[in-house]
Structure 1
C-alpha cells in the first residue's frame, strides 16, 4: 500500500535528479535546463509518473520563470523593440503556417487538419529559451527582449487563429472571434491600469514606509492574480506573469523582489517544471507516423528560423543576431501540446498527427538550449572581427 506521504519522496527524487542533471549538463558545457529535461525523460520511463501535484508545481514553476523574465526586462528597451518584435512574430507565424499546412495538405489531402497543424506549428513556448538566455547572460540583450516581445505577440495571434479555426469547424465549440479580441484587449487594459496604479503607489509608499520585509509576498500575489486573470481572459497565464514582472521592474523594489523570487523559484519550482517536461514525454508513442513527424519537425524548425530571422533582419538586426532570435523562437513545448490535444479531442486531427506534434515538441525542446549556446558562443568568437 502506497504511503500518503509518498509524494514527498517523488518530489525529493525529482529535485535531486534536476540538480544532478543540471550539474552534469554544465560540466559538459551545455545549459543546465537540457540536463534537467533529459533526467525527466529517464525518470518517466517507469520510475516516476507525472501526478496532478507535480503538474501543478510545474505550472507554478513556469509562472515564476516568466515573472523573473519580466522583472529583468528593461522597459525602455521593450518599448523600443515593439516594431521589431511585431515583425519577428509575424514572420514566425506566417512562415511555419504556410510551410507546414502546405506540406501536410500535399501528403494527406485534408485541408482542415493541414491548416490546424500549421496553427500548431506557429506556437512558441519560450520558457526553455528564457532559462537558457539567463544562464548565458543574454536575457537582457536586444535579442533577448526581441524574443520575449515576439513570443507574447505569437501567443495572441495563435489564440485568434485557433479561435477562428474552431469557429469554422465546430461553431458551437468556439467563442465568437470578436469576443476573443475583446477579452485580449480587456487583459491589456487591466494590466495597464493595475500597472500604472501599482507603480505610482509603491513609489510613494517607498518614501514613507519600508516594505522590504513584505514586498516579496505582495509581488507573488500580484504575479499569481495577473496570471490567473490572463488565463481567464484567454491569454496564457505565463503572459500575465511576465507583465506582472514588467510592472514590478519599474518599482524601487525590483532588485529585492527578483533576488528573493529567484531563490524560491530556482531551488524548488522551476527545476520540477523542466524535469516535468521530460516526464510528459512518451518515447514509445513516436514509432507511428515517424516520416510525417520528421517532415513536420524540419519544416517547423526552418519556418521559425527563416520567418523570425527575416523579421529581425528587416528591422535592423545583424545576420548573426537574426539567427539567434530565430533559434530562440524554435521551442514549442507545452503550448503546442495543449493546442494539438484540443484538436485531437475535437477530431480535427488524428492520433498520427498528434504523435507528429509530440515529436516536434521533444526535439525542439531538447535542441534549443544547445543551439542557443552555440549561436552565442560563435558571437563571442566573432566580436573581434565583426564590426556591424
Structure 2
C-alpha cells in the first residue's frame, strides 16, 4: 500500500496540469508528461517508476485506444485504407534509412545502427489520439488516416523487430520464426473481422436481453483482444483499438463509451501519460548530447516527412499531409518497448540505451505541440481562403 501516496500525488498533479493546460490552450497530455519529467528521475525524483505505476499505465493506454476505436467510423477507415497504407510504409522507410545513417555516422556499429532505426521506425498514436480528440479531429480524414496508418505501422514494426532479432544474431528471441508470426497475425485479423461483422452485436444484444452489465462485458472483450494481440506479437493497443471498432458497430456504443471514458480519464489514462515522462533519465546522456540532438531531430523530421509524403501521394493537400505526418511523429510506449526488448536480447549496446530512451521521450513530448500547431495552421489558412 506504500504506492498509494504516489498515486494520490500523480492524480492531484494531473488535475493541476489539466487546469493550467486549458488556461494556456495546450493539450492536457503535455502537462501530464511534464509531471513525469519534473517529478520523476529526470529532475526531482519524487515519483519513481514502479511496477504498480506501469500496470496502471498499461491499462490506461489500452483504455485510451479502446475509446478511440469506439469513436472511430468504420466506413471512413475502409475509405482511407489506401492512404493509411502509404502513410505507414513511407513513414517507416524514411526513419529506417535516416536513423541508420545518422547512428552509423556518430560511431555506432552496424548492428546498433540497424536496431536504432527499427526503434524509431515505430509509431505510437496514443498521444496523437488524445490531441485529435481534444481538437475534434479524430473522425476527420486526417484523423482516420492516422489511426489506420498506426495499425499498419504496428504490424510493420513488429515484423521489423522479428527480422532484427533473427538476422542480428539473437538466439533467445521468441519471434525468430517469422513465418509463424505472420500466420498468427493473419489469424488474429481474420478473427477480428469476424467479430466486428457478426460477433459484437450478437454478444451485446444477448447480454442486454439477460440484463448483463454491458460496460463490464465490453471491457472484458477489450482486455481479451489486447492479450490475444500480444500473443500474436502485436501491441496490446492494436487489440484494444479493434475491440473498440467492434463495439462501435452496436447500438450500445454511446453508453459504453461514456462509462469507459469515466473510468479511463478518472484514473488510468493520466497515469499512462505521466509514466512516459518518468522514462526520461539524464544519466549518461550529457556526454552524448550531439547524438541525442541528432537522433531527436531526425526522428521528428523523418516521420513527419515520410508519413506526410505518403498522404500527399494519396491526394491530400499539403496542410492535410502535414497534419497526418505530425500525427505519426510520436513514438511513445511502442518505441520504449522495442528498445527494452532490444536491450534484453543484446541487439543494442547499453552505452546508447539511455540516449535512445531520452530521444524517444523528448520526441513523444514534442509531438502534441507539432500536431496541434499543424491543425491550427490549417484552420487559419482555411479562414483566409
Give the match for residue 74 of structure 1. Answer: 73
Give the match for residue 209 of structure 1. Answer: 209
Give the match for residue 11 of structure 1. Answer: 7
Say if 1:308 and 1:329, in contact at 8 Å, map to a contact too.
yes
Written as runs of structure 1 = structure 2, the 5 A alignment for 1:178-193 is 178-193=179-194
Give the match for residue 362 of structure 2. Answer: 363
Q: 3-state SS of the aligned residue for 1:302?
A: helix
Say if 2:39 and 2:46, in contact at 8 Å, map to a contact too.
yes
Give the match for residue 23 of structure 1. Answer: 19
Give the match for residue 194 of structure 1. Answer: 195
Give the match for residue 320 of structure 1. Answer: 319
Say if 1:89 and 1:154, in contact at 8 Å, map to a contact too.
yes
Q: Distance in 2 between matches of 1:223 and 1:348?
A: 32
Q: Distance in 1 between matches of 2:283 and 2:104?
A: 27
C-alpha displacement of 1:376 = 1.2
Q: Distance in 2 between matches of 1:204 and 1:336?
A: 39
What root-mean-square deviation, in Å, do the aligned CA atoms of Structure 1 and Structure 2 show? 1.7
Q: Distance in 2 between matches of 1:110 and 1:173?
A: 22
Alpha-carbon displacement from aligned partner over 1:239-262 (angstroms, at most 9, x marks no partner)? 000000000000010111111100
C-alpha displacement of 1:360 = 1.8
Written as runs of structure 1 = structure 2, the 5 A alignment for 1:219-230 is 219-230=218-229
C-alpha displacement of 1:324 = 0.7
C-alpha displacement of 1:77 = 0.1
Q: Distance in 2 between matches of 1:107 and 1:68?
A: 41
Q: Could you say if the C-alpha distance between residues 278 and 171 of structure 1 is closer, same or farther in structure 2, counting changes exceeding 3 Å?
A: closer
Written as runs of structure 1 = structure 2, the 5 A alignment for 1:101-120 is 101-108=100-107, 110-120=109-119
Say if 2:170 and 2:345, in contact at 8 Å, map to a contact too.
no
Say if 2:281 and 2:354, in contact at 8 Å, map to a contact too.
no
Alpha-carbon displacement from aligned partner over 1:328-376 (angstroms, at most 9, x marks no partner)? 1111122112212222233332234222312221221211112222111
Give the match for residue 100 of structure 1. Answer: 99
- Name the TM-score, length of structure 1 as normaliser: 0.94
Give the match for residue 29 of structure 2. Answer: 33
Which region of structure 1 is more displaced relative to structure 2, 87-96 or 330-339?
330-339
- Name the TM-score, length of structure 2 as normaliser: 0.94
Say if 1:58 and 1:273, in contact at 8 Å, map to a contact too.
yes
How many residues are treated as equivalent by the alignment? 380
Alpha-carbon displacement from aligned partner over 1:46-97 (angstroms, at most 9, x marks no partner)? 2121221111011000000000000000000000111000000001100110
Which region of structure 1 is more displaced relative to structure 2, 94-103 or 109-118?
109-118
Q: Could you say if the C-alpha distance between residues 58 and 164 of structure 1 is closer, same or farther in structure 2, counting changes exceeding 3 Å?
A: same
C-alpha displacement of 1:384 = 2.5
Q: Which runs of 5+ in 1 are unaligned?
A: none
1:375 matched to 2:371: no
Q: Which runs of 5+ in 2 are unaligned?
A: none
Give the match for residue 249 of structure 1. Answer: 248
Q: Distance in 2 between matches of 1:204 and 1:186?
A: 26
Which region of structure 1 is more displaced relative to structure 2, 178-187 or 189-198?
189-198
